[in-house]
Protein backbone atom coordinates (compact mmCIF):
# COMPACT_ATOMS: atom_id res chain seq x y z
CA UNK A 1 0.00 0.00 0.00
CA UNK A 2 1.25 3.46 -0.95
CA UNK A 3 0.50 6.43 1.31
CA UNK A 4 0.83 10.06 0.23
CA UNK A 5 1.24 13.13 2.45
CA UNK A 6 1.39 16.77 1.37
CA UNK A 7 2.26 20.03 3.13
CA UNK A 8 2.53 23.60 1.87
CA UNK A 9 5.34 26.07 2.40
CA UNK A 10 5.14 29.30 4.37
CA UNK A 11 6.35 32.89 4.43
CA UNK A 12 6.81 34.76 7.70
CA UNK A 13 5.55 38.28 7.02
CA UNK A 14 6.21 39.82 10.43
CA UNK A 15 7.91 38.90 13.68
CA UNK A 16 11.10 37.31 12.35
CA UNK A 17 13.67 36.82 15.11
CA UNK A 18 11.39 38.39 17.75
CA UNK A 19 8.91 35.51 17.55
CA UNK A 20 11.51 33.53 19.50
CA UNK A 21 10.86 35.84 22.46
CA UNK A 22 7.06 35.85 22.36
CA UNK A 23 6.27 38.49 19.74
CA UNK A 24 3.29 37.95 17.46
CA UNK A 25 4.08 36.85 13.93
CA UNK A 26 1.95 36.82 10.77
CA UNK A 27 2.56 33.81 8.53
CA UNK A 28 1.05 33.05 5.13
CA UNK A 29 0.89 29.64 3.41
CA UNK A 30 2.26 29.32 -0.11
CA UNK A 31 0.76 27.56 -3.08
CA UNK A 32 4.08 25.74 -3.37
CA UNK A 33 4.27 22.41 -1.55
CA UNK A 34 6.16 19.19 -1.00
CA UNK A 35 4.58 15.74 -1.02
CA UNK A 36 5.87 12.51 0.48
CA UNK A 37 5.09 8.99 -0.74
CA UNK A 38 5.65 6.00 1.53
CA UNK A 39 5.66 2.38 0.39
CA UNK A 40 6.83 -0.93 1.85
CA UNK A 41 10.12 -2.63 1.05
CA UNK A 42 9.83 -6.38 1.51
CA UNK A 43 13.33 -7.29 0.33
CA UNK A 44 15.57 -5.37 2.73
CA UNK A 45 15.43 -4.19 6.34
CA UNK A 46 16.13 -0.53 5.74
CA UNK A 47 14.65 2.93 5.33
CA UNK A 48 15.34 4.00 1.77
CA UNK A 49 15.01 7.77 1.33
CA UNK A 50 14.84 9.56 -2.03
CA UNK A 51 14.29 13.27 -2.63
CA UNK A 52 13.31 14.78 -5.99
CA UNK A 53 13.29 18.39 -7.12
CA UNK A 54 10.66 20.31 -9.07
CA UNK A 55 11.99 18.81 -12.33
CA UNK A 56 11.67 15.28 -10.92
CA UNK A 57 15.45 14.91 -10.71
CA UNK A 58 16.78 12.99 -7.72
CA UNK A 59 19.04 15.31 -5.73
CA UNK A 60 19.42 13.30 -2.53
CA UNK A 61 19.20 9.72 -1.30
CA UNK A 62 20.02 7.91 1.92
CA UNK A 63 19.75 4.47 3.48
CA UNK A 64 19.29 3.66 7.17
CA UNK A 65 19.68 0.13 8.52
CA UNK A 66 16.86 -1.34 10.59
CA UNK A 67 16.25 -1.59 13.44
CA UNK A 68 19.15 0.59 14.68
CA UNK A 69 18.77 3.27 11.96
CA UNK A 70 22.53 3.40 11.31
CA UNK A 71 23.46 5.48 8.28
CA UNK A 72 24.75 3.48 5.34
CA UNK A 73 27.67 5.06 3.51
CA UNK A 74 29.03 8.56 4.01
CA UNK A 75 27.46 10.82 6.60
CA UNK A 76 26.22 14.23 5.44
CA UNK A 77 24.36 16.98 7.32
CA UNK A 78 21.15 16.00 5.48
CA UNK A 79 21.52 12.35 6.51
CA UNK A 80 22.33 13.29 10.11
CA UNK A 81 19.25 15.54 10.24
CA UNK A 82 17.01 12.75 8.95
CA UNK A 83 18.55 10.26 11.36
CA UNK A 84 17.80 12.60 14.24
CA UNK A 85 14.14 12.64 13.24
CA UNK A 86 14.00 8.87 12.77
CA UNK A 87 15.75 8.31 16.12
CA UNK A 88 13.06 10.43 17.78
CA UNK A 89 10.35 8.39 16.04
CA UNK A 90 11.97 5.20 17.38
CA UNK A 91 12.19 6.75 20.85
CA UNK A 92 8.46 7.61 20.85
CA UNK A 93 7.42 4.32 19.23
CA UNK A 94 10.06 1.74 20.27
CA UNK A 95 8.48 -1.21 18.47
CA UNK A 96 7.93 0.56 15.16
CA UNK A 97 11.12 -0.59 13.42
CA UNK A 98 11.58 -3.89 15.26
CA UNK A 99 9.90 -6.09 12.68
CA UNK A 100 12.62 -5.14 10.17
CA UNK A 101 10.01 -4.31 7.54
CA UNK A 102 11.67 -1.78 5.24
CA UNK A 103 10.08 1.38 3.91
CA UNK A 104 10.76 3.57 0.89
CA UNK A 105 10.14 7.30 1.42
CA UNK A 106 10.10 9.59 -1.62
CA UNK A 107 9.73 13.36 -1.35
CA UNK A 108 9.05 15.76 -4.21
CA UNK A 109 8.78 19.53 -4.09
CA UNK A 110 7.18 21.68 -6.76
CA UNK A 111 9.52 24.63 -6.05
CA UNK A 112 13.24 25.31 -6.19
CA UNK A 113 14.79 23.78 -3.08
CA UNK A 114 16.95 26.89 -2.60
CA UNK A 115 13.86 28.99 -1.95
CA UNK A 116 13.44 27.96 1.66
CA UNK A 117 9.69 28.37 2.27
CA UNK A 118 10.00 26.35 5.47
CA UNK A 119 11.13 23.15 3.77
CA UNK A 120 12.33 21.62 7.06
CA UNK A 121 8.90 22.21 8.62
CA UNK A 122 7.22 20.66 5.58
CA UNK A 123 9.41 17.58 5.94
CA UNK A 124 8.77 17.31 9.69
CA UNK A 125 5.02 17.74 9.24
CA UNK A 126 4.75 15.08 6.54
CA UNK A 127 6.83 12.60 8.56
CA UNK A 128 4.88 13.34 11.74
CA UNK A 129 1.59 12.72 9.94
CA UNK A 130 2.86 9.38 8.63
CA UNK A 131 4.24 8.16 11.94
CA UNK A 132 1.35 9.58 14.00
CA UNK A 133 3.43 12.03 16.05
CA UNK A 134 3.00 15.62 17.18
CA UNK A 135 4.93 17.73 14.65
CA UNK A 136 5.60 20.43 17.28
CA UNK A 137 7.23 17.84 19.51
CA UNK A 138 9.33 16.48 16.65
CA UNK A 139 10.38 20.00 15.62
CA UNK A 140 11.36 20.93 19.16
CA UNK A 141 13.61 17.86 19.33
CA UNK A 142 15.42 18.35 16.01
CA UNK A 143 15.42 22.14 15.43
CA UNK A 144 15.83 25.42 17.29
CA UNK A 145 12.82 27.11 15.67
CA UNK A 146 9.92 28.79 17.47
CA UNK A 147 7.40 26.36 15.97
CA UNK A 148 5.82 29.11 13.85
CA UNK A 149 6.74 27.33 10.62
CA UNK A 150 5.21 24.10 11.91
CA UNK A 151 1.97 25.87 12.85
CA UNK A 152 1.70 27.44 9.41
CA UNK A 153 2.39 24.16 7.65
CA UNK A 154 -0.13 22.28 9.81
CA UNK A 155 -2.96 24.80 9.31
CA UNK A 156 -2.11 25.86 5.75
CA UNK A 157 -4.05 29.10 6.32
CA UNK A 158 -2.91 32.61 7.29
CA UNK A 159 -2.17 32.60 11.02
CA UNK A 160 -1.02 34.79 13.87
CA UNK A 161 1.54 32.88 15.93
CA UNK A 162 3.25 33.49 19.26
CA UNK A 163 4.96 31.51 22.01
CA UNK A 164 3.36 31.79 25.45
CA UNK A 165 4.82 29.95 28.45
CA UNK A 166 7.04 28.05 26.00
CA UNK A 167 3.98 26.70 24.18
CA UNK A 168 2.94 27.52 20.59
CA UNK A 169 -0.22 29.61 20.31
CA UNK A 170 -1.78 30.33 16.94
CA UNK A 171 -5.08 31.21 15.34
CA UNK A 172 -6.35 31.36 11.79
CA UNK A 173 -6.85 34.88 10.41
CA UNK A 174 -7.90 36.54 7.16
CA UNK A 175 -5.24 38.39 5.20
CA UNK A 176 -6.09 39.58 1.69
CA UNK A 177 -5.66 43.37 1.78
CA UNK A 178 -7.26 45.69 -0.79
CA UNK A 179 -3.77 46.48 -2.10
CA UNK A 180 -2.71 42.83 -2.57
CA UNK A 181 -2.10 43.53 -6.28
CA UNK A 182 0.65 45.92 -5.15
CA UNK A 183 2.53 43.17 -3.29
CA UNK A 184 5.36 41.19 -4.86
CA UNK A 185 7.54 38.38 -3.47
CA UNK A 186 11.07 38.57 -4.89
CA UNK A 187 13.72 35.86 -4.60
CA UNK A 188 17.18 37.21 -3.73
CA UNK A 189 18.99 33.98 -4.65
CA UNK A 190 21.06 34.07 -1.45
CA UNK A 191 20.12 31.07 0.69
CA UNK A 192 20.36 31.88 4.38
CA UNK A 193 20.68 29.39 7.22
CA UNK A 194 17.73 30.04 9.54
CA UNK A 195 19.22 27.79 12.22
CA UNK A 196 22.45 29.79 12.32
CA UNK A 197 20.59 33.11 12.43
CA UNK A 198 18.40 31.87 15.28
CA UNK A 199 21.46 30.93 17.34
CA UNK A 200 22.97 34.37 16.80
CA UNK A 201 19.76 36.13 17.78
CA UNK A 202 19.34 34.09 20.98
CA UNK A 203 22.47 35.80 22.31
CA UNK A 204 20.98 39.31 21.87
CA UNK A 205 19.19 40.97 24.77
CA UNK A 206 15.56 41.75 23.92
CA UNK A 207 13.47 44.31 25.80
CA UNK A 208 9.78 43.83 26.54
CA UNK A 209 8.84 47.09 24.81
CA UNK A 210 10.55 45.86 21.61
CA UNK A 211 8.48 42.66 21.70
CA UNK A 212 5.33 44.71 22.25
CA UNK A 213 6.23 46.99 19.32
CA UNK A 214 6.61 44.06 16.91
CA UNK A 215 3.34 42.50 18.14
CA UNK A 216 1.55 45.82 17.70
CA UNK A 217 2.83 46.16 14.14
CA UNK A 218 1.67 42.61 13.39
CA UNK A 219 -1.83 43.43 14.65
CA UNK A 220 -1.92 46.68 12.67
CA UNK A 221 -0.72 45.04 9.45
CA UNK A 222 -3.46 42.44 9.77
CA UNK A 223 -6.08 45.23 9.81
CA UNK A 224 -4.36 47.49 7.29
CA UNK A 225 -6.52 48.81 4.43
CA UNK A 226 -4.32 51.52 2.89
CA UNK A 227 -1.08 50.96 1.04
CA UNK A 228 0.61 54.03 2.58
CA UNK A 229 -0.17 52.75 6.07
CA UNK A 230 1.18 49.33 5.13
CA UNK A 231 4.43 50.80 3.81
CA UNK A 232 4.85 52.86 6.97
CA UNK A 233 4.38 49.77 9.17
CA UNK A 234 6.79 47.69 7.06
CA UNK A 235 9.49 50.34 7.27
CA UNK A 236 8.96 50.69 11.03
CA UNK A 237 9.26 46.90 11.44
CA UNK A 238 12.44 46.83 9.32
CA UNK A 239 13.96 49.63 11.40
CA UNK A 240 13.39 47.76 14.68
CA UNK A 241 14.96 44.55 13.39
CA UNK A 242 17.82 46.41 11.72
CA UNK A 243 18.75 48.21 14.94
CA UNK A 244 18.62 45.01 16.95
CA UNK A 245 20.61 42.67 14.69
CA UNK A 246 22.98 45.42 13.45
CA UNK A 247 22.29 44.80 9.76
CA UNK A 248 21.28 47.24 7.02
CA UNK A 249 17.72 46.89 5.76
CA UNK A 250 17.44 45.18 2.39
CA UNK A 251 15.99 48.35 0.87
CA UNK A 252 19.01 50.43 1.91
CA UNK A 253 21.37 47.73 0.67
CA UNK A 254 19.83 46.90 -2.70
CA UNK A 255 16.77 48.98 -3.53
CA UNK A 256 17.29 52.57 -2.32
CA UNK A 257 15.51 54.03 -5.36
CA UNK A 258 12.43 51.82 -4.98
CA UNK A 259 9.23 53.83 -4.55
CA UNK A 260 7.64 51.82 -1.77
CA UNK A 261 8.67 49.41 0.97
CA UNK A 262 10.81 46.28 0.82
CA UNK A 263 10.87 43.82 3.71
CA UNK A 264 13.11 40.86 4.47
CA UNK A 265 11.21 37.66 5.20
CA UNK A 266 12.64 35.16 7.66
CA UNK A 267 16.38 35.19 8.26
CA UNK A 268 17.77 38.44 6.88
CA UNK A 269 20.08 38.25 3.90
CA UNK A 270 18.52 35.53 1.77
CA UNK A 271 15.47 33.82 0.37
CA UNK A 272 12.48 36.07 -0.41
CA UNK A 273 11.65 39.71 0.26
CA UNK A 274 8.24 41.34 0.15
CA UNK A 275 7.94 44.50 -1.95
CA UNK A 276 4.99 46.88 -1.84
CA UNK A 277 4.75 49.61 -4.45
CA UNK A 278 2.87 50.87 -7.46
CA UNK A 279 2.89 49.74 -11.09
CA UNK A 280 5.42 47.54 -12.94
CA UNK A 281 6.98 46.02 -9.84
CA UNK A 282 8.33 42.99 -11.70
CA UNK A 283 10.06 45.18 -14.27
CA UNK A 284 11.84 47.16 -11.55
CA UNK A 285 13.30 44.04 -9.95
CA UNK A 286 14.18 42.44 -13.29
CA UNK A 287 16.24 45.50 -14.15
CA UNK A 288 18.03 45.02 -10.83
CA UNK A 289 18.87 41.45 -11.81
CA UNK A 290 16.19 39.64 -9.79
CA UNK A 291 14.21 37.60 -12.31
CA UNK A 292 12.24 35.36 -9.96
CA UNK A 293 9.21 37.07 -8.44
CA UNK A 294 5.60 36.24 -7.72
CA UNK A 295 2.50 38.33 -7.17
CA UNK A 296 0.39 37.85 -4.05
CA UNK A 297 -2.09 35.65 -5.94
CA UNK A 298 0.69 33.61 -7.55
CA UNK A 299 2.45 32.91 -4.25
CA UNK A 300 -0.14 32.79 -1.47
CA UNK A 301 -2.49 29.83 -1.09
Could you tell me if 152 and 282 lie in one domain? no
Beta strands in the chain (DSSP E): 3-12, 25-41, 46-52, 58-65, 102-109, 159-164, 167-172, 183-187, 260-264, 272-277, 293-295
Could you tell me if 72 and 218 lie in one domain? no
Choose one of 143, 172, 201: the last residue of a domain. 172
Choose one of 172, 189, 204: the last residue of a domain. 172
If you ran DSSP here, which 8-state letter would residue 201 be given?
A: H
User: H or E segment at 213?
Assistant: helix 208-223
Contacts 24+ apart (CB under 8 A), 163-171: 163/19, 163/20, 163/21, 163/22, 164/22, 168/136
Contact 49, 62 (CB under 8 A): yes
| Closest C-alpha among 264, 295, 250 to residue 277 | 295
Could you tell me if 151 and 196 lie in one domain? no
pLDDT at 89: 94
pLDDT at 33: 97
Could you tell me if 115 and 186 lie in one domain? no
The enclosing domain of 72 has a CATH number of 3.30.230.10
Could you tell me if 268 and 185 lie in one domain? yes
Q: What is the pLDDT of residues 26-49, one digit of tens each?
A: 999 999 999 999 999 877 889 999
**φ and ψ at 58, to 5 degrees?**
-70, 125
The whole-angstrom separation of Cα 162 and Cα 19 is 6
Choose one of 122, 149, 172: the last residue of a domain. 172
Could you tell me if 32 and 156 lie in one domain? yes
The whole-angstrom separation of Cα 24 and Cα 255 is 27
The whole-angstrom separation of Cα 197 and Cα 199 is 5
The whole-angstrom separation of Cα 153 and Cα 237 is 24
Around 254, how many Cα atoms within 13 Å sit in the side-chain half-sphere? 23
pLDDT at 98: 78
The whole-angstrom separation of Cα 50 and Cα 105 is 6
Which residues of the chain are modeled with pLDDT < 50? none
Could you tell me if 9 and 80 lie in one domain? yes
pLDDT at 279: 80
pLDDT at 100: 67
Could you tell me if 168 and 205 lie in one domain? no
The whole-angstrom separation of Cα 158 and Cα 139 is 20
- Total tally of structural domains belonging to the chain: 2
pLDDT at 96: 85
| Cβ atoms within 10 Å, residue 144 | 13
| Cβ atoms within 10 Å, residue 175 | 19
pLDDT at 165: 87
Could you tell me if 72 and 168 lie in one domain? yes
The enclosing domain of 281 has a CATH number of 3.30.70.890
Whether the bond between 20 and the residue before it is cis, its omega within 30 degrees of 0, is no
Could you tell me if 155 and 30 lie in one domain? yes
pLDDT at 159: 98
Range of the domain at 157: 3-172
Could you tell me if 130 and 79 lie in one domain? yes
Instruction: Determine the straight-line distance between the first and last CA of the chain, rounded to whole angstroms.
Output: 30
Could you tell me if 31 and 149 lie in one domain? yes
pLDDT at 198: 64
| Closest C-alpha among 212, 199, 274, 277 to residue 11 | 274
Amino acid sequence: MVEVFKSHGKLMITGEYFVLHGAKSLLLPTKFFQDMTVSRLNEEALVLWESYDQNNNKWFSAEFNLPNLAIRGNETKEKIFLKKILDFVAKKKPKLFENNSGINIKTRMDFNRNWGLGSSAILINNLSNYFGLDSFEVSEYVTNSSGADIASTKISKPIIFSVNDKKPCYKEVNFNPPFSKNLLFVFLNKKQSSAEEVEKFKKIRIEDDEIRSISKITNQILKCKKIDDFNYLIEKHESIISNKIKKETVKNLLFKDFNGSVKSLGAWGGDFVLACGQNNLKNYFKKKGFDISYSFNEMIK
